[in-house]
Amino acid sequence: MRLNSPKINLITKACLKASRSLIRDFGEIENLQVTTKGPGDFVTSADKRTEKILINELLKAHPDYGIVTEESGVINESNKKQRWIIDPIDGTFNFLNGVPQFAISVAYEENNEILCGVILNPVTNEMYCAEKGNGAYLNNSRIRVSKKKKVKDSLLVTGGPKQTSKIKKQIFSEYIEISNKSSNVRKFGSAALDMAFVACGRFDGYWQREINIWDIAAGVVIVKEAGGFIDYFEDDTEFPLKKNILATNSSIHDELKVLISKKVIE
Ligand code: IPD
Ligand code: CA
Ligand code: CA
């Protein structure tokens, strides 16, 4: 079994097409790493190329839908009701370094609710998808979050802070606190895959401050449909595209949230 509604089919088709181009680009990275110029500019163009394929495919099917993208900003801005949310490469630094932990992430949002999402790792060919009310899948298999009950037994994942963050101290202090209280914490460098891994039970929870909506949009519906819980803590309504997110297997949610909200050392 697998999801096959028109929206999921459209997103899946777009992601697979983009993935063929991206995997060719990834093959080039190794060669570029040895040049003095390095792969920086090339990655920017790989990002743009991938995004263009996604945008073309989605616009062909629904020319009037809005699109929120990382690289090209907002398309069809007046349509806020129906929109796609795209991150062409989530995990750019991994991509840049030849680390195969990056993904294409595309979500569909209607009336401010994310209804479907696809996350595809082009290297491993793992495709995670979900649609509201119809479950979450990894390729053809249904996925579920883990059954861990306690933070002390949990394997967690996080990301950030960005070098420009003004709350680095707070983020590092949370990281220390949660590392001390959990089984272990990973930083894998792709928020989309971090969430996908929560959805399929590889990780028990993921949290991150100051994340952009395109990093997490597809992951939100995938985690929810796999039985997990999503919490936008300390939400800042002034910046609706920026979020603080906690995504867990549900069972450890309350315990982990207390650790995040704890007052930290200045
Ligand atoms: C980044 C990744 C990373 C997260 C950063 C994001 P990008 O996205 O999701 O895991 O820690 O905050 O910006 O830049 O690779 O698309
Ligand atoms: Ca991203
Ligand atoms: Ca990106």
pLDDT of residue 33: 61
Q: What is the pTM of this model?
A: 0.95
Tokens representing 121 are: 């790792």
153 CA to centre of ligand 3 in angstroms = 32
Dihedral of CA atoms 250, 252, 257, 259 in degrees, nearest 10, equals -170
**CA distance between the termini of the chain:** 51
Residue 137 in contact with residue 3, Cβ under 8 Å? yes
Quick one: which atom of ligand 1 is closest to the CA of 87? Answer: 16
User: In a 3-state reduction of DSSP, which class is residue 240?
Assistant: coil
The Å distance, Cα 33 to ligand 3 centre, comes to: 20
Q: Which residues contact 186 (CB under 8 A, 6 or more apart)?
A: 155, 156, 157, 158, 203
Ligand 1, atom nearest to 194 Cα: 10
List Cβ neighbours of 235 (8 Å cut-off, separation of 6 or more).
243, 244
Tell me which residue has its CA closest to atom 8 in ligand 1.
Answer: 90
pLDDT of residue 1: 62
Residue from 68, 97, 203, 215 whose mutation best tests the ligand 1 pocket (most atoms within 8 A of CB): 215
Ligand 2 centroid from CA 17, angstroms: 19
Position 248 scores a pLDDT of 98
Residue 69 CB less than 6 A away from ligand 1? no
pLDDT of amino acid 236: 74
Q: Which residues of the chain have pLDDT under 70?
A: 1, 32-42, 238-239, 262-266
For the four alpha carbons of 60, 124, 203 and 89, in that order, the dihedral sign comes to negative
Ligand 1 within 6 A of CB of 87: yes
pLDDT tens, position by position, 177-194: 999 999 999 999 999 999
Which of ligand 1's atoms lies nearest the C-alpha of 160?
Answer: 11
Ligand 1 atom with minimal separation from the 187 CA: 10
Complete domains list, the chain, with CATH: 6-142 (3.30.540.10), 151-261 (3.40.190.80)
CB of 88 sitting under 6 A from ligand 1: no
* pLDDT at 159 (0 to 100): 97
Check if the beta carbon of residue 115 is closer than 8 Å to that of residue 203.
Answer: no
* Omega before residue 161 within 30° of 0, cis: yes
Which of 197, 261, 210 minimizes the C-alpha distance to 236?
210
